[in-house]
Amino acid sequence: MPVACHAPAALHAPLAASTYAEEVRRVYNSAREAERTRLTWAELIEARLKLAAVEEIDADWNGGDSEAPNLTSRQRARRLVELAVRDAHLMPSAVLPSVEGGIAFVFKEGLRQGSIEILNSGELVAAYFDNFSEPTVWEFAPNDASTTTALERIRVFVSR
């Protein structure tokens, strides 16, 4: 007698609707996640390029009144890019040299804005504000936890 005659009936039964829907959802979510990862990588590269442009700024970029970013600022800024884009999903609108010597990240969403300045002096300052009200400003420690907290506070404000 052919083997097929002894195959379990389930092999020949059509997929249950719930199983098909679950499979579609699984594939869809996987594709979305892949797209999100692709976009995150694109944003990360874009942010790194913005930072690289600031790192290459001339020593007398501000007519000699301000220092160019030093090694410590540059290293901390590179870490901030990773934490901001990859972890906090917060893309900097601009990366600029700071007149106080260092690197500044600006996060804008309409009239709301956040910023983090990494100064050559070692100071780290975060802020968020709009065009009219009193800004909220605070200094924070040079570690991942404090940086992540600062980014999250900024993200919550600008995305309101």
Which residues of the chain form contacts with other proteins (CB under 8 A)?
60-67, 93-94, 96-101, 104, 106, 108, 115, 117, 119-121, 123, 125, 127, 129, 131-132, 134-135, 137-139
Contact in structure between 124 and 142 (CB atoms under 8 Å): yes
In whole angstroms, the minimum distance from the beta carbon of 22 to other proteins comes to 45
In whole angstroms, the minimum distance from the beta carbon of 129 to other proteins comes to 6
Report residue 34: phi and psi, to 5°.
-65, -40
Please tell me whether residue 75 adopts helix, strand or coil conformation. Answer: helix
Tokens found for residue 23: 């499979």
Rounded Cα gap, residues 124 and 102, in angstroms: 10
In whole angstroms, the minimum distance from the beta carbon of 88 to other proteins comes to 20
In whole angstroms, the minimum distance from the beta carbon of 41 to other proteins comes to 25
CB nearer to other proteins: give 19 or 121.
121
CB nearer to other proteins: give 85 or 103.
103
Rounded Cα gap, residues 139 and 111, in angstroms: 23
